[in-house]
Structure 1
Amino acid sequence: MIDYAKALELLLAQTCRLPAEVCALDEATGRVLARVVTSPIALPSFDHAAMDGYALSAAKPLPAGSEHAVYGSQAAGDVAGKAQHVDGEQDACEIMTGARLHEGLDAVVALERTECLGTHADGKPARIRLRDPLHAGDNVRYTGSDVAPGVEVMAAGRRIEAAQVMLLAALGISTLEVVRRPRVAIICTGKELQADATQPLAAERIHNSNGPYLCAALAAAGAQVLFCETVDDTAITFADALQRAIDASVDLVVSTGAVSMGRYDFVPETLRRFNVQLLFHKVAIRPGKPLLCAAMANGPLIIALPGTPMAVAAGMRFVVVPVMRAMTGQGSEHALFAVLDTPQQPKAGLRHFLRANLHQGSDGQLHATISNQQQPFRIRPFADADVWVVLPEDAGDCPAGARVEIVSLEADSPPRVRSSP
């Protein structure tokens, strides 16, 4: 049995970054950038009005009470011309938010900060008076004030979400180089598992929750799940499913069950017949100690998880997710911490992954309350949890008030914080 850090080190040493591919922007959400993105244009790409009002030349500040003739109107999307002079150097042009400033104009006075002194026959303003002084640059959005042309706007390894899509679209970027999604196969073992939830459940069987959970968690982490199969407790059916995964050119196989030391725990011996390189079997973690990982020459990585639901959930979050991040070039996640509200006495030598709720205390800090139902078969506390609390192998007794590491339940999702209890 090896410790968690060493196990992860061995596994990541066998993990290769996946190649890049071109992706349309409207399909890029959840994808990871393979290359740096630089801005092809300035943003904004021209000087324009920040609000409805009147554009003027204010190279010399215009005092409150000054009067100005209005010579035209400029809406967003109109082609800009040159400033006109009807009644002097400081004549105004009516302008709308987002409209390009006429050449020679450099300030905008808000509509509500003016007084209309007269109108044209068509009802449009003919003359205005300023209520406040006006200076060059007032209420103007300048070219490149958001993004200058040619600068880096996103680094390789950045996961694209809606906010990034907005910026990329504003820059006119329609395609991106992204890392190919990891291709994953899921194999759930156990003759007691019923995969079809639409059929009546036999007395001796249970619904397969591991398969749907892994499908959802892997998809959320950015994987392409090629197939999810449920096989019985025989080496031959597992071997057949594994061969199908290999033939499908998957990057990763995640299996559940049959990985410990019992009569029906056939996964270790079956993998040996495939001439894999066994990286480790049994890791000093709870839940999930019987975890096995192997590498196949010119084939997939294999992560064989124990079959109990929380061993699967912990294995997914703390073993599979780091592998997925390495495959896509995302790097390690940053640690978050909270104040422990429920004292713990973890077993020495094991890294514990505990389900907990999170709230903000009156002290302004995040506080973690660990569920007292940590048995690995219990699914409800996991569904009700906000975060994992991680207690390292040498944590010792952890009193209330101790600082502990917290990890979100799902990759790339912030932990949920509840209202104070």
Structure 2
Amino acid sequence: MKFFIVKTVAETLDVIANHFHPIVKPIEVPLIEALDMVLSEDIVAGGQVPHFDRSTVDGFAVRAKDTYGASDSLPAFLTVTGKIEMGKEADQALKEGQAQAIPTGGMLPAGADSIVMIEHVEEIDDLLNVYRQVAPGENIIRAGDDVNAGDLVMAAGQRLRPQDLGVLSAIGITTVRVYPRPVVAILSTGDEIVSPDKKELAPGEVRDINSMTIGAAASQCGAQVIYGGIVADNYEAFAAKAYELFNQADLLLLSGGSSVGTRDYTEQVMQSLGKPGVLVHGVAIKPGKPTIVAKAGEKPVMGLPGHPASALIIFHLFVVPLLKKLQGQSPAQIDQRIRARISRNIPSAVGRSDYIRVKLEERPDGLWAVPVFGKSGLISTLVRSDGMVEIEANKEGILEGDMVSVHLFQ
């Protein structure tokens, strides 16, 4: 089998979409523990939210037609017949010419169809002077305005955000069935790579950056991370450690050793983990060409470039959609892009996709994407960047002022 026959970005994403699926059975968790987890089933409302008509302001419940024509110079006069209390039923119906005091969130009494705000009235004993007319439905929420019984509140594949937990609480959901957080194991390779806690570096040594950045990015995607440490450029040691981590994880990420050098064993190790083996070895992209995607049994294994900026860009392009796929979430739900104008001309070679790091600037004439240039081994370029812009493989570059789509870093 010949390797390092590059695929396009689109072809690589298709491989990920077609070969990988949620690989663990859904579990049931308390709602309070479900933040950032992905629903495995649809949620249908069993009742209304709210389940009664309620006020959105402090004021007085009225019949709108009793206020028509009211103004500062000619108020409407209503009789105050009671006060509605929070959390209690409004059991006194409202009749023509009457009003009842009501707090924000209070239950609307029968016969009332609107609320006049407290700022627009004057109460003198049981007489209410209304200085502004209101329309039917003004300042109220009707039963079911938020959620109706039988509504599809949330579809399977939805990542649960704080507001999602709120609406589930409102309809009485206390537990949800979700996909477990995927376990991601990370192993860095290379004779030159040493632990970040080494104080004095020998000539040629480099502290391990990728384990930290890739691990943090995986955690940000909802994964549990196993840090496998560093393995030297020795096939037996590399294969043994990779196999150990592979058996503990849902996704194994190998950092470094994915090019075609004589001591780069990543592809061989990935093949040894199981069939069908390597699916992609090389992507027509800059930076990040020596990227490998493999499948061992049902598990994905990816080889990331050793250069820190390349590795993180490849993570955003390919590992993020893969992680979402493993959690039952569609890639369409997670792609974060905004439109901006590029601030300068950028040439590109036809036949490969170039990804340019950019910083966003808000200018008087709109949002601009300012390129942050630097070699793929420079992590500081990503620190200064808000996202990246793709120059597609069929283009020779982009021109200053062109509208571009900025893929935001999380």
Q: Is the 8 A contact 1:339 1:368 kept in 2?
A: yes
Letter of the 2:85 partner, please give it. A
Identify the residue that residue 88 of structure 2 maps to in structure 1.
78
Kindly indicate whether residue 47 of structure 2 is the aligned counterpart of residue 41 of structure 1.
yes
The aligned residue for residue 103 of structure 1 is 110
CA deviations on 1:313-365 (whole Å, 9 max, x unpaired) are 1220111112122222323336544322221111222211111112244433x
Task: State how far apart, in whole Å, the 2-side matches of 1:356 and 1:6 are.
Answer: 25
The aligned residue for residue 319 of structure 1 is 318
Query: Counterpart of 2:22?
Result: 17
Report what 2:32 is aligned to.
26
Distance 2:156 2:238 in 1: 38
Once the two structures are overlaid, the 10-residue window that deviates more, 338-347 or 273-282, is: 273-282
CA deviation vs aligned residue, 1:117-147 (integer Å, no higher than 9, x gap): 22xxxxxxx3222223455433322111222
* Structure 1 pair 200–134 and aligned structure 2 pair: CA distance change class (3 A): closer
**What are the equivalent positions in structure 2 for 1:157-306 lying under 5 Å apart?**
157-197=157-197, 199-204=198-203, 205-248=205-248, 250-276=249-275, 277-298=277-298, 300-306=299-305
What secondary structure, in the 3-state scheme, does the structure 2 residue paired with 1:41 have? coil
Structure 1 runs not aligned, ≥5 long: 119-125, 411-421
Aligned partners of 2:311, 2:164: CA distance in 1, in Å?
32
1:90 CA drift (Å):
2.7
- 1:83/1:214 CA distance change after superposition, 3 Å: same
Q: State the Cα distance separating 1:62 from its structure 2 match.
A: 5.8
Task: Indicate the RMSD between aligned Cα atoms, in angstroms.
Answer: 2.3
Instruction: Give the Cα–Cα distance (whole angstroms) in 2 for the partners of residues 221 and 134 of structure 1.
Output: 48
| Structure 2 counterparts to residues 55-74 of structure 1, below 5 A | 55-58=61-64, 64=70, 65-74=75-84
The offset of 1:407, in angstroms, is 0.7
| Corresponding letter in the other structure for 1:307 | G
Partner residue in 1 for 2:309: 310
Code of the residue aligned with 1:402 in structure 2: it is D
Q: Give the gaps of 5 or more residues in structure 2.
A: none
CA contact (8 A) 2:191 2:233 kept: yes
Three-state SS of the structure 2 residue aligned to 1:338 is strand
User: 1:210: how far off?
Assistant: 0.3
Please give the alpha-carbon distance, in whole angstroms, between the structure 2 residues aligned to 1:338 and 1:57. 50
Cα separation, partners in 2 of 1:5 and 1:55, compared to 1, 3 Å: closer
Shift of residue 52 of structure 1? 1.7
Deviation at 1:237, TM superposition (A): 2.1
C-alpha distance after superposition, 1:277-296 (max 9, x if no partner): 22122221111111122111
Specify whether residues 283 and 67 from structure 1 end up closer, same or farther in structure 2 by C-alpha distance, changes over 3 A only.
Answer: closer
In the superposition, the TM-score normalised over structure 1's length comes to 0.86
Q: Secondary structure at the match of 1:357?
A: strand
Distance 2:296 2:364 in 1: 52
Amino acid at match of 1:398: I
Query: Partner of 1:363 in structure 2?
Result: 365
**Partner in structure 2 of residue 8 of structure 1:** 13
Separation in 1, partners of 2:271, 2:283: 19
User: Offset at 1:94?
Assistant: 1.9
Shift of 1:68: 3.2
Distance 1:55 1:79 in 2: 14
The residue type paired with residue 174 of structure 1 is T
Greater shift in the superposed pair: 67-76 or 179-188:
67-76
The sequence identity of aligned pairs, in percent, is: 27
Kindly indicate whether the alpha-carbon contact (under 8 Å) linking 1:61 and 1:136 is maintained by their aligned counterparts in 2: no
Q: CA deviation at 1:78?
A: 1.9
Alpha-carbon contact 1:229-1:241 (below 8 Å) kept? no
1:153 Cα deviation after fit: 2.5
Matches for 1:149-164 after TM superposition, within 5 Å: 149-164=149-164
CA contact (8 A) 1:157 1:331 kept: no
